[in-house]
Amino acid sequence: MRQFPNARLRRTRQHDWIRRLVRENQPSVNDLIWTMVITDSHELQTPVPSLPNVSRLNIDALIEHAKEAADLGIPAIALFPHIDPKLKDPTAKESLNVDGLVPRAVAAIKAEVPNLGVIVDVALDPYTDHGHDGLMQGEIIENDSTLEVLAETASILAKAGADIVAPSDMMDGRIGAVRKALNSSGISNVPIMSYAAKYASGFYGPYRNAIGTNAALKGDKRTYQMDPLNRDEALHEVALDITEGADMVMVKPGLPYLDIIRDIKNEFSMPTFAFQVSGEYAMIKAAGANGWIDEHKVMMETLGSFKRAGCDGVLTYFARDIAKSLHKGS
């Protein structure tokens, strides 16, 4: 007599309705943070060649995109500035300009689309002529003098109306420095989303092109961003950031680091986010355009993977496409 299995996992996979019934994760529009590149330009939009369907937006175009985000039910957007090369210098002084691009952009969105969350990246690389996230002393990226600039930048952006500040520089002690500056400016209610485990990754290539730092960058970022081969160290980074006053933590890049996301979620039970970075987006776009993968299917699968790994939300250039797709129910 043939032995049949009693346990058959295929029983709950037979129909759409039962697959829906046993589904463990439900990605939704509430999981999305739409990443946008902004610039000062007369042109409304300047396409970024390395990021198909992503443009540098001027403030007018940004407002239109912010309205679209709100209409789609996307909770928040994250802003990344492309700064005029003429304004870059070794001290990142443009990052302290209260009338600079990002403070103006934040104020404009808050005036026009007040219920949309606005997250600002806090780092010096868009503003330094050497493309590093910190001030340089010879060949060294100086930690503690950088903290002072970051803290002041964060206060300026919070005062301009930013809802969340997100330090992405990976200097030691930056969360504490930013938290202290916010407290002493009387804005202790602004959450900090720390780029807690940010790796020295090859996946940022298209972004550096988008914000115009790739040509400028001298050397690499391995003395401050994490070694992609390390796992325990990510937990150490997150622990410090939480102690220093972070409210939400992020892992970056996203898909190659799902193990780190799961570790962090298990260990800290904090609001945990992933950044599906430019290189991840560009790979999916390129393979999709060549007909090698089904772009839509893979895009949705990646969001599901982030949820499965333990993410509360994802920063992604796909946010608009995903939101539209979720609304259509596909």
- Known binding residues for Mg(2+): 237
Does 285 contact ligand PBG by CB under 6 A? no
Name which of 169 and 241 has its Cβ closer to ligand PBG.
169
Annotated catalytic residue 198: yes
Does 127 contact ligand PBG by CB under 6 A? no
Name which of 163 and 169 has its Cβ closer to ligand PBG.
169
Instruction: Specify the stretch interacting with ligand PBG by CB under 6 A; choose among 40-48, 136-144, 183-191, 202-210.
Output: 202-210
On the CB side of 86, how many CA atoms lie within 13 Å of its CA? 1
CB 240 within 8 A of CB 234: no
**# binding residues, ligand PBG (CB under 6 A):** 12
Name which of 58 and 278 has its Cβ closer to ligand PBG.
278
Does 121 contact ligand PBG by CB under 6 A? yes
Q: Is the dihedral of CA 65, 70, 71, 73 positive or negative?
A: positive
Token readout for 196 is 């807690």
CB 129 within 8 A of CB 216: yes
Cα separation, 198 vs 234, whole angstroms: 8
What are the C-alpha distances in Å from 88 to residues 95, 120, 136, 183?
A: 9, 19, 14, 29
CB 167 within 8 A of CB 158: no
Catalytic residue among 88, 221, 252, 265: 252
Select from 61, 109, 128, 133 the one that contacts ligand PBG (CB under 6 A). Answer: 133
Residues 155-184 vs ligand PBG: string with x where CB under 6 A?
A: -------------xx---------------
- Interacting residues of 328 by C-beta distance below 8 A, sequence separation 6+: none
Instruction: Specify the stretch interacting with ligand PBG by CB under 6 A; choose among 119-127, 139-147, 155-163, 290-298.
Output: 119-127
Q: Is the dihedral of CA 309, 314, 316, 318 positive or negative?
A: positive
Annotated catalytic residue 307: no
Q: What is the largest CA-CA distance in the chain?
A: 82
CB 246 within 8 A of CB 175: yes
Catalytic residue among 88, 198, 221, 265: 198
Sequential DSSP letters for 54-79: -EEE-HHHHHHHHHHHHHHT--EEEE
Does 125 contact ligand PBG by CB under 6 A? yes
Select from 50, 155, 194, 278 the one that contacts ligand PBG (CB under 6 A). Answer: 278
Cβ of residue 157: shortest distance to ligand PBG, in angstroms?
14
Name which of 168 and 272 has its Cβ closer to ligand PBG.
168
Q: Which residues are catalytic?
A: 198, 252
